[in-house]
Every structure is written in C-alpha cells, then in structure tokens.
C-alpha cells in the first residue's frame, strides 16, 4: 500500500510539534514533509531577550533539521494551495524556482502576520516583534538611537531619540518594554552625554489595564514594577497615528519619538486571507478535530486556526483555543494523533486542553506567574519563568545555549555592538556568455537593466504554440512585465556574451515606480508596445495555478 503523504506548512510551535508527534508515532507509516520559510524554529517567548542583547539571536532558535531528523524539511516559501488537486505551490532557493508538492493530508500552521493598517503611519514607522529579524532590528535601532543621542547638539532631536514607545501590553508588549528598559539602563554607562533622566519609556495600552489574561492583582503588581523600573504605563488610551518623529494618541497627546514598537495588530496571514477558506476573526474555521471546513484532508492549528473548545461555541473568544504557544504545542500533538486515526479509520478525538497558567517577565529579575491557580510575583516567579522556558526549549544543546547566555549576562556587560545587516536594494550581477539568467517558469525576484553586454529572452507557450523572442543591449531592461502586470512567470533569458546587469529588488522597484507617475506611464506603454495584449498567454504555467498569489506587493 502507498504511504500517505502528510505535508506541514509552517515550522513554528504548531507545525513543529505536529510534525514531531507524527515522526514519533507514525514510525514510517506515513511520509511527512515540513515546509518553512526559514531553516529554523523560532522560540518566540525569547525574542524580547534577543532585542535586549541578553540572548544571542542564533541561540533563541533551533535548526529544523536538528529538531526533525527523521523527516523531510524543506526551506521554501509557500505561495499557493490548490485544494482541488491537493497541491501546494512553493518557491525555493535564490532562483525562486516554483515547485508543486502533492499531499494527502495538509496541516496549515502558518501563524499570523502583524497588520497595522488601521493606524495611519504605524505600518511605515513602527517596529514589530514577531520574528528573529524584528528582534534584531529593534536591538540595532535602540543602540543606534543611543549612539546619535550621545553626540547630537540638537536638544529636540536628543529628546526624540531618547523616547521609546511600546504599543500593546499583552505579554509580548510587557516583556519587550521591560527588556528594552534593561538594555538602555545597562548601556547608559557607556554614553557619558546621556543622563538617565533624559530617557523616557512608555507602554501604551488601550484597555484599562495591562496583561489582560492575568488576574487583576498580578497586573497591578506588574504595573507597579514597570513604573519602579522607569516606565510610564498609560492605560485606557490607544495610538491614533504615527510619523517618523512621533506618535499621536487617541486622547490627542503627541509623544515625540524615534522608536515605536507595535505588539498589537494580529491579522490573518496574507496567504490564508487569499485562499478559499472560511475565516472568522481572521482565523481559519475548523471543527473540534482541527479539520478545516469544506476541504477534505486539510487541517489547521496554532495562531492561524480558530479551534472550538466546546460543542456549540458562541461569539465568545473563550470558547476557542487562545493564540499561545502553550496551546499550539498541544494542538500539534492532538492533530498528529487525529491524522493517524483517520488513516487507520479510527474515531477522531476532539481537541481539549485547559491552560495551566501564564507567566510574564518584568525585567530586573522580577516576573508574575499564575500556575495551576497559584499566583506568584517577584523573584520566585522570575525563577519559575526561566525554569519553565528552559524546560520547554527544544533539545539539550538548545537548552544549554540558553542557559549559557543567562549565566554570561550575570558576569558580562551588555553587548552594544550595532551590527547593521541591511542588504542594498540594488546590485551589479555579472554573467558569462551562455549563462541562464532566468529559467522558463521562474518567479522573478527583481528588475534587471543591462549595463554591458547582451541577452536574449525567449518565451514559448506549449499550449498555444506561440513563440516570442527579444534581444536586450545596454540600457534595455526586463522583469517589469512580471512585476507590474498579472503575468506570473518568466521566459528563458540567456547571456549572449559576458554581460553585467543592474538588479533592483522587486519590492523597491514596485515602490519606486508607483511613486513616480511618469515612470509608471513609461512602463505601461513599454509593456503594451512590447508584449501587446498577449502577455497572459506568454505566462507559461500561470493558468494552472488559479490560487497562486502575485509576487509583487
């Protein structure tokens, strides 16, 4: 009998723990593959420590291949799902090659994305705290603010640079603001021109108290601790808009700042939103067994899914599994069991789990915790917080690295090196005669202008028999058709001699063109003249992928 193929998309808490349980329980009875955008699993609760430079960024993550040694791991980005043909479309590698992956059972574990578009200016000016790059960016940004504030002679700019605002006081907002305050406090001794009183740190929460999932007395304790720590906690007020120089609050106040960190705005993943799925509150509706409505063989879990905890759920968030790592892990294990039960034609089990409690670190070796109904605060809660996350962190080597980071922090000062890792938006690429610059059917990654040499584009459509050729010399360009129009795939581009091109990233090119009407007009006319109305038929393969997303933003 052929082995069933289980495909897991998303390698966070939900996806990894489902895959691990399948690896352990299925013992070769099913073939399991996990697809994730990065080759590592992010332990999100440690991100605030990465941002505070108390945890090395690579120590807050675990390589997926070390975590899931007996199954296939694929580093690729999921771009589409065709539920009719049970196919997932992914792109992988620097050449953005699209690949189709077949499945019998599909687990959607893509998490959520930050959606700030309700607040003008926030998407452009706020830093977020969702993945490793975010945490790294925040750390670099805070250190950059201190560097400039120490040497600037403009008092207004100095005040703006030394004002830090965190929006949202759930546990990620509280832990982020506390850790950021710690970093600043420890770092200040190396910045002689900054007086500690020059620094302002705000935590903004729309609800009337912080940490809404904790009992009120623990939230009060946490507020007092944060205030002692030098953080202004503003509750009952939200953010209205933001600019590069400040944030406007809903009560009309404007706080001049160069640093806004948004831990609010949990929105549906772009792919989840674009697919033919039933969503509620931006999450994929499932039944109690985690089966996705209307799609046979499709399951969802973690932050992306809305899993009922009771038989007849009402419009009440407490009737559904909350978006926490604690739940995602249990969902993963239960979902794996249900897939195996389905394959073995046994009865499925509904997901049932009661939270064992919550923990939040407040910096300066203090925390709040409610575990099995017992409330704790202070240093004891902080030790519990550390012990719990250490035991929860996957793998012995990973645990050891986290522990070493924590021990090092006791005896060493914070690392205030500002590592800049932004890659340039443009670069030169050299090709030798005969090199294949683009393969037919690839998703294009940028806009190309020929600086020196020559190239040939060939597009063949096997369905219609149409054939198209074009030569490019210095000053000519290509890529715009795929980036600006609905054509999704490239043709074949070959270097006819040794050639140099200037490459502009897809995102920067589209932003730039949309900002300049004359450029947009130029490209529109150019595409019309060069490809006419036939471009759709010149997009090999696109008709087969009706659910595929456009690659341009």
Ligand X SMILES: Cc1cc2nc3c(=O)[nH]c(=O)nc-3n(C[C@H](O)[C@H](O)[C@H](O)COP(=O)(O)OP(=O)(O)OC[C@H]3O[C@@H](n4cnc5c(N)ncnc54)[C@H](O)[C@@H]3O)c2cc1C
Residues 265-284 that bind ligand X (CB under 6 A): 269, 271
- For ligand X, which is the closer residue by CB, 47 or 106? 47
Helix (H) / strand (E) containing 62? strand 61-63
Cα(124)–Cα(248) distance, integer angstroms? 14
Helix (H) / strand (E) containing 31? strand 30-36
Helix and strand element counts for the chain (H, E): 15, 34
Q: Which of 497, 512, 499, 496 is nearest to 447 (CA)?
A: 512
Q: Which of 304, 362, 487, 493 binds ligand X (CB under 6 A)?
A: 304
- 3-class DSSP assignment, residue 372: coil
Any contact of residue 37 with ligand X (CB under 6 A)? yes
Neighbours of 532 (CB within 10 A): 9
Sheet with strand 87-92: strands edge to edge: 77-82, 87-92, 97-102
Any contact of residue 323 with ligand X (CB under 6 A)? yes
Q: Which of 6, 7, 13, 351 binds ligand X (CB under 6 A)?
A: 13
Print the binding letters for residues 76-115 with ligand X: x by CB under 6 A, - otherwise.
Answer: -xx------------------------------xxx----
Neighbours of 397 (CB within 10 A): 12
Cα(531)–Cα(479) distance, integer angstroms? 12
Which of the ranges 273-281, 300-308, 412-420, 426-434 carries the binding residues for ligand X, by CB under 6 A?
300-308
Query: Least distance to ligand X from the beta carbon of 43, Å?
Result: 8
Any contact of residue 324 with ligand X (CB under 6 A)? yes
| 65-to-6, 14, 30, 133 alpha-carbon distances in Å | 17, 16, 18, 20
Cα(21)–Cα(159) distance, integer angstroms? 52
Q: Which of 165, 219, 328, 369 binds ligand X (CB under 6 A)?
A: 328
Print the binding letters for residues 534-553 with ligand X: x by CB under 6 A, - otherwise.
Answer: --------------------
Q: What is the DSSP string of 414-459?
A: --------PPPSEEEEEE-TT-EEE-TTPPP-EEEEEEES-EEEEE
Which of the ranges 233-241, 324-332, 429-437, 449-457 carries the binding residues for ligand X, by CB under 6 A?
324-332
- Rounded to 5 degrees, φ, ψ at 424 are -65, 150
- 3-class DSSP assignment, residue 286: strand
- For ligand X, which is the closer residue by CB, 71 or 455? 71
Any contact of residue 235 with ligand X (CB under 6 A)? no
Query: Least distance to ligand X from the beta carbon of 403, Å?
Result: 18
Which of the ranges 37-45, 54-62, 434-442, 445-453 carries the binding residues for ligand X, by CB under 6 A?
37-45
Name the DSSP letter for residue 550.
P
Q: Which single residue brings its beta carbon nearest to ligand X? A: 12
Which of the ranges 39-47, 153-161, 411-419, 545-553 carries the binding residues for ligand X, by CB under 6 A?
39-47
Q: Are strands 61-63 and 40-42 parallel, antiparallel or unpaired?
A: antiparallel
- 3-class DSSP assignment, residue 546: coil
Q: Which of 6, 8, 12, 455 binds ligand X (CB under 6 A)?
A: 12
Any contact of residue 357 with ligand X (CB under 6 A)? no
Q: Which of 20, 26, 30, 36 binds ligand X (CB under 6 A)?
A: 36
- For ligand X, which is the closer residue by CB, 87 or 499? 87
Cα(378)–Cα(361) distance, integer angstroms? 9
Print the binding letters for residues 422-461 with ligand X: x by CB under 6 A, - otherwise.
Answer: ----------------------------------------
Q: Residue 158: CB partners within 8 Å, gap ≥ 6?
A: 149, 152, 198
- For ligand X, which is the closer residue by CB, 194 or 360? 360
Q: What angle do CA 412, 418, 420 make, to 5 degrees?
A: 145
- For ligand X, which is the closer residue by CB, 172 or 286? 172
Query: Least distance to ligand X from the beta carbon of 35, Å?
Result: 6
Q: Which of 325, 339, 437, 438 binds ligand X (CB under 6 A)?
A: 325
Any contact of residue 334 with ligand X (CB under 6 A)? no
Any contact of residue 38 with ligand X (CB under 6 A)? yes
- Footprint of ligand X on this chain (CB under 6 A)? 10-15, 35-38, 44-45, 47-48, 77-78, 109-111, 129-130, 171-172, 269, 271, 302-304, 323-326, 328
């Amino acid at each position: 009998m052929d082995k069933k193929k289980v495909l897991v998309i998303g390698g966070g808490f939900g996806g990894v723990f489902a895959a691990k349980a399948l690896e352990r329980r299925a013992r070769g009875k099913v073939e399991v593959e996990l697809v994730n955008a990065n080759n590592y699993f992010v332990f999100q609760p440690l991100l605030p420590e990465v941002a505070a430079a108390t945890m090395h960024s690579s120590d807050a993550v675990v390589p997926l291949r070390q975590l899931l040694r007996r199954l296939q791991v694929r580093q690729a980005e999921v771009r589409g799902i065709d539920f009719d043909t049970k196919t997932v479309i992914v792109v992988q590698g620097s050449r953005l090659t699209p690949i189709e992956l077949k499945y019998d059972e599909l687990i959607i574990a893509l998490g959520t994305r930050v959606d700030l578009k309700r607040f003008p200016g926030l998407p452009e000016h706020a830093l977020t705290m969702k993945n490793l790059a975010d945490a790294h960016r925040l750390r670099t940004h805070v250190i950059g603010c201190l560097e400039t504030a120490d040497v600037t002679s403009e008092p207004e700019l100095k005040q703006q640079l030394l004002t830090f605002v965190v929006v949202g006081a759930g546990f990620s907002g509280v832990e982020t603001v506390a850790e950021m305050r710690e970093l600043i406090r420890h770092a200040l001794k190396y910045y002689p021109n900054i007086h500690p009183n020059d620094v302002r740190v705000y935590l903004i929460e729309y609800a009337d108290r912080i940490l809404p999932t904790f009992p009120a007395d623990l939230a009060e304790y946490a507020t007092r601790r944060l205030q002692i720590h030098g953080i202004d906690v503003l509750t009952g007020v939200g953010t209205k808009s933001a600019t590069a120089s400040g944030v406007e609050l809903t009560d009309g106040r404007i706080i001049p700042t160069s640093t806004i960190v948004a831990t609010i705005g949990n929105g549906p993943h772009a792919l989840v939103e674009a697919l033919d799925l039933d969503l509620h509150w931006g999450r994929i509706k499932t039944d109690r067994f985690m089966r996705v409505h209307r799609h046979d063989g499709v399951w969802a879990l973690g932050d992306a899914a809305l899993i009922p905890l009771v038989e007849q759920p009402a419009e009440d968030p407490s009737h559904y599994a909350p978006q926490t790592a604690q739940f995602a892990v249990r969902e993963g294990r239960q979902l794996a069991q249900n897939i195996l039960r389905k394959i073995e034609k046994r009865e499925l089990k509904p997901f049932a789990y009661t939270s064992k409690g919550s923990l939040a670190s407040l910096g300066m070796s203090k925390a709040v915790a409610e575990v099995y109904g017992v409330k704790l605060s202070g240093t004891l809660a902080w030790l519990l917080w550390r012990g719990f996350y250490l035991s929860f962190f996957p793998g012995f080597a990973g645990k050891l690295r986290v522990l070493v980071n924590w021990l090092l922090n006791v005896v060493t000062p914070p690392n205030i090196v500002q590592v800049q890792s932004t890659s340039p938006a443009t670069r030169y690429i050299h090709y030798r005669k005969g090199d294949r610059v683009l393969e037919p059917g690839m998703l294009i990654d940028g806009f190309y202008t020929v600086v020196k040499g020559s190239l040939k584009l060939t597009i063949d459509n096997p369905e219609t028999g149409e054939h198209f050729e074009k030569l490019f010399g210095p000053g000519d360009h290509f890529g715009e058709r795929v980036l600006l129009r609905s054509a999704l795939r490239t043709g074949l581009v070959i270097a006819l001699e040794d050639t140099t091109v200037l490459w502009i990233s897809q995102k920067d090119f589209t932003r730039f063109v949309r900002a300049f009407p004359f450029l947009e007009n130029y490209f529109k006319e150019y595409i019309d003249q060069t490809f006419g109305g036939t471009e759709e038929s010149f997009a090999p393969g696109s008709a087969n992928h009706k659910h595929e997303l456009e690659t341009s933003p």
